[in-house]
Structure 1
Amino acid sequence: MSEAQLAANVVPISRPVRWHIGVFLFPAFVVYSAVMILPLIETLRLSFYNIVDGQSAFVGLANYKVLFGDARWAHDFWNALKNNLIFFIIHMCVQNPIGVALAAMLSIPKLRFVTFYRTAIFLPTLLSFVIVGFIWKLILSPIWGVAPWIMDLVGMKSLFSPWLGKPGSALIAVSLISVWQYVGIPMMLIYAALLNIPEEVIEAAECDGITGWSQFWKIKLPLVLPAIGIISILTFVGNFNAFDLIYTVQGALAGPDMSTDILGTLLYRTFFGFQLQLGDRSMGATVATVMFLIILAGVSLYLFVIQRRIRRYQF
């Protein structure tokens, strides 16, 4: 028989329909839709509506004009956005470099008690933000805190100041508290990436005389750039969604004098109201939508621009 006849006589094997995959994914899809997708769609929709004559009416971009055009709303929004950027920059410039440095030190082969150091550094990330905020308020309190006493032991009590009570230092103090709590996350991610570097690459570098910190900067760091990129975008998303620690340490008013107010606390006060301020669902949804667009822009920039450059550099 010719090859054409053999090909004609071959019966194609029908692949079974893997319906069980859809069955297992369906509950997760329903929960994710109910918790994430539907609230997001409703928030976007609500930002285009407002109460007119006691009834909900479509107002288009009027809520956004109020947010950016009204003097009071614009002042609070731009102040919160500025503080959020400072909050993010401190994490990027302090938390992530410290995490990379700690991971590099933990990856030293001859270092003793690696498990203890790794556990001790990562442990604060497991603590509740309520506990962390309350503990640090006690530590930094000028009345009953232990910080003045500890600084007095090393002859630096004159440098102590009620950092959480001053508008110029409150945001930096809260940011450093957050850095202390979450520095273990970038440390563990970079540490795992360093452990996954093939031994052949390290041995080849040592044969070429590249050892120590020179090996880290020239060999290891370029290989863990994708992990650093993921940490950076996680930091961006987490910081622009931040709320809990600021609320615990400084309250919903994000004092003193709104110096620690970020988009998360502004959204809370706008949507739910606080003290004499009444809640406004439409304006709260507008603030939430702007937060979503900022995060979406940052994630899109990373996925379509920065990640491609990292891959091009890596390969």
Structure 2
Amino acid sequence: MSTADYSQSDSGQDKRARRWHILVFLLPAVIVYTAIMILPLIETLRLSLFNVVDGQGVFVGFGNFQTLFGEPRWSASFWNALRNNFVFFLIHMLVQNPIGVALAALLSVPKLRFGAFYRTALFLPTLLSFVIVGFIWKLILSPIWGVSPYLLDLVGLKSLFAPWLGKPSSALITVSLISVWQNVGIPTMLIYASMLSIPEEVLEAAECDGITGWSQFWKIKLPLILPSIGIISILTFVGNFNAFDLVYTVQGALAGPDGSTDILGTLLYRTFFGFQLQIGDKSMGATIATVMFLIILTGVCIYLFAIQRRMRRYQF
């Protein structure tokens, strides 16, 4: 056997060894992910096709989905929660992400003083627990012992104060803005990191052509960070349609007043586990969870196969 044959066989053995090496290191993560994500998802999908009759599981096919969409008691609660969830998502898209892009643009200014302090201050709320954030904002906005009336009075705007969390017309918007306050640091830091990755040669060439300041941001930086904005948008979509913690902390499981802040997460919680006089129904809870999964899956597929391709085509 020639030297070349030996070298080829040795390289083949090395590749096989490397592959086994990768599998060994990936195996623990795959096992943990399967145990806490894949198996519960499969069990949820299976449970949505069954119902409990006389203490035993009976296969009903899509009967639970027909009940959810067709029975007035279930359909009214579901469509109300879905509508509120879309409003919750749109507020984040129209308020949180544009503010995040604007703040990232300001943080990327080369001569900005105390930049590290601003970055820390903006990202700090995202590290706080939902329970702490909800409790703090309930205290701030309370019409009895909150500081909001006093602060508005200092600037002569006390007449604008209202029990925003207690009015059905403003409760959902208020909770959404609280969530925006807590999470705006995430898109800010992601966009800021994306701006830092823009090659200096591109910016120097733009400056040579007389493109500076905000004109440089709109014409040069923004097109280059569109993929990052797309990632932030789909993360916002997934996070908002999985939301539960903040609404539960601020408004409770009933998501009051009068269900005005009820979203799919709180509806799922009450349906699956039960609350007060409502008895838990695991089959219907799994059905709602399955619908949530399908909504999120549809949104992610639309982004991956439609929006992301156009962004790549535009970028390159």
Give the TM-score, by structure 2 length.
0.96
Distance 1:95 1:15 in 2: 52
Q: Where do 1:129-140 residues align within 5 Å? A: 129-140=130-141
Work out the percentage of aligned pairs sharing the same amino acid: 78
Q: Distance in 2 between matches of 1:122 and 1:21?
A: 35
Q: C-alpha separation between the residues in 2 aligned to 1:304 and 1:214? A: 31
**1:213 alignment partner in structure 2:** 214
Provide the secondary structure at the position in 2 that maps to 1:98: helix
Alignment match, 1:146: 147
**Counterparts of 2:24 and 2:209 in 1: how far apart (Å)?**
55
Larger CA deviation: 160-169 vs 48-57:
48-57
Paired residue secondary structure (1:155) = coil
Amino acid at match of 2:118: Y
Partner residue in 2 for 1:276: 277
SS of 1:152 mapped into structure 2 = helix
Q: SS at the partner of 1:289?
A: helix
Query: 1:23 Cα shift?
Result: 1.5
1: CA distance between counterparts of 2:109 and 2:231?
23
Deviation at 1:25, TM superposition (A): 1.3
Q: Which residue is 1:235 aligned to?
A: 236
Q: How far apart, CA to CA, are the structure 2 residues paired with 1:173 and 1:186? A: 20
* Equivalent in the alignment of 1:89: 90
- The equivalent of 1:24 in structure 2 is 25
After superposition, the C-alpha distances for 1:148-181 in whole angstroms (9 at most, x for unaligned) are 0000000000000000000000000000000000
Distance of 1:69 and 1:63 partners within structure 2: 10
Displacement of 1:56 in angstroms is 0.6
CA distance in 2, matches of 1:231, 1:222: 15
SS of corresponding position for 1:15: helix
The structural deviation recorded for 1:27 is: 1.2
SS in 2 for 1:253: coil
Aligned partner of 1:70 in structure 2 is 71
Output the CA distance in 1 between the equivalents of 2:54 and 2:275.
24
RMSD: 1.3
Q: Secondary structure at the match of 1:56?
A: strand
TM-aligned CA deviation for residue 54 of structure 1: 2.9
Deviation at 1:15, TM superposition (A): 3.0
Kindly state the Cα deviation for residue 53 of structure 1 after the two structures are TM-superposed. Answer: 3.2
Hey, what does 2:115 align to over in structure 1?
114
Question: 1:132 and 1:21 mapped to 2: Cα distance?
Answer: 41
Match of 1:176 in 2: 177
SS in 2 for 1:258: coil
Q: Structure 2 CA distance, aligned partners of 1:198 and 1:235? A: 27
SS in 1 for 2:259: coil
- Paired residue for 1:296? 297
CA distance in 2, matches of 1:223, 1:54: 58
Counting only pairs closer than 5 Å after superposition, residues 177-216 of structure 1 correspond to structure 2 as 177-216=178-217
Q: Distance in 2 between matches of 1:49 and 1:113?
A: 59
Which residue pairs with 2:225 in the alignment?
224
**Which stretch has the larger CA shift, 45-54 or 300-309?**
45-54
Name the CA distance, whole Å, in 1 between partners of 2:99 and 2:244: 23
Distance 1:254 1:71 in 2: 20
Structure 2 runs not aligned, ≥5 long = none
Q: What is the TM-score with the length of structure 1 in the denominator?
A: 0.97
* AA partner of residue 166 (structure 1): K
1:15 to 4, 13, 28: 13
Note the C-alpha offset of 1:61: 0.4
Aligned with 1:57: secondary structure?
strand
Number of aligned pairs? 310
Find the residue that maps to 2:181 and give its secondary structure: helix
**Cα distance in 2 between the residues matched to 1:196 and 1:223:** 10
Amino acid at match of 2:208: C
Mapped to 1, the partners of 2:5 and 2:80 lie a distance apart of 71
CA distance in 1, matches of 2:51, 2:311: 44
Amino acid at match of 1:201: V
Shift of 1:10: 4.1
Amino acid at match of 2:162: S
Counterpart CA distance in 2 for 1:106 and 1:174 is: 27
2:285 is aligned with 1:249: no
Q: Deviations over 1:10-47 (max 9, x none)?
A: 45332332322212111111111110000000000000
